[in-house]
Structure formats: structure tokens, C-alpha cells
Amino acid sequence: MYATTLTAPPVQIDSRAAYAAFGLAYVFGHGSAALSQGADPLLALPGWLPIALLAAGLAAGTILSVIAAGQAQRGAAKPEALAGKLLGAAWLTGFTALFLTITGLSAAIDHPELQAMLWPAGSTLVVGLLYLAEGVVRRIALHYYLGTGLLLIAGASFLFGTPGLFWVLAVAGGGAYAVATVLEHRRLARA
């Protein structure tokens, strides 16, 4: 028979601010791309604006995520602390692999415009996989469900080309983060 051991309760991370920042990045970044791209754009925006809005929101969300994870790591048991460090490293590994994949694929088939689709949807795929893993490791079902939703949204977005891909990411991706923000509040209240 296997011996059972008591484990420490999962580390509680408050992701509300990070979820809100990521949601706003999706809505304003991908939303402005959706409005300003395609054969007949709805708005004439400078090309740099959607990228700047997305980057600002993603930077804010990343900083807020790092702060939340750092606060949760204080006083964590060694296995929990190690899991947190490995998850942090997985973000670097995932995005490095995505960069190499997109750069190599775009060069191999000589379609640089393919990057306009692969980066937003590919990034959402990587984030979805990481949230899924983080949900399992930290035992936070909401992370797992958000990751699952982002994976499905990213995969489905490829079916719509551009600017449809950006509409899917803005509405469904931003909506997923909005729902997660509300549910995170309820999760923490119960914990």
C-alpha cells in the first residue's frame, strides 16, 4: 500500500488585476486591429496603435501576474516554490519556442504576412497551455478552465482569417478574461 501524506493547501494567487489587464489588452489591442484591418476597415488607425495597445495591456498584465505570484510564493513550502519557479520558466520557454516556430515557418514558406495571424493566435495558444498547466500544478480550477477556453478560442480564430481572427480574440478572448476576473473574486471569497 502507498502511504498518504498531508499536503499544504494550495498557494492562493489573486489574479483579478492581471486578468483584467489581459482582458483589456485583448479588447483594445485585438479590437483595434479588427477595426483597422481587412479589405474595408471600419477605422483608419495608424498601424502601430493596435500593437501598442496590446503591448501595454500585456505588459501590465505580466507585471501584475509576477507580483501576484511573488506574493503567493512568500512562505510557500519548497515543492510549491519549486513549482512556481518552473511555471515561470515555462513562460519563457513557451514564447521562445513560439518565436522560433513562427520565424522559421514564415521564412520557410515565404509568407511574412502569416506572422500577422500566427503571433496573436499562437500567443493565445501558449498562454492557454500555460494556464492549463498552472491550474493543475496550483490546483486552481479557474486557471485550468481559462486555459481551456483560451486554447479553444485561439484554435477557432484561425478559421476566420484576418480581420476575423482579431474579432474572435477581442470578443471571445477578452470575454474569457472578463468572466475569469469575476469568477476569481468569487473563488477567493470562498477560499
Residues 6+ apart with CB under 8 A from 135: 141, 142, 143, 144, 145, 146, 147
Task: Tell me what pLDDT residue 110 has.
Answer: 81
- Answer yes or no: is pLDDT of 6 > 50: no
For residue 100, give Cα distances in angstroms to 2, 54, 136, 191.
43, 21, 27, 40
Which grid cell is 170? 477581442
pTM (two decimals):
0.86
**Residues 29-60: pLDDT tens digits?**
999 999 998 778 888 888 889 999 999 998 99
Residues 6+ apart with CB under 8 A from 36: 42, 43, 44, 45, 47, 49, 50
Going from N- to C-terminal start, the domains of the chain cover 16-36+43-190
- Answer yes or no: is pLDDT of 109 > 80: yes
Residue at 2: amino acid letter: Y
Average pLDDT over residues 148-156: 97
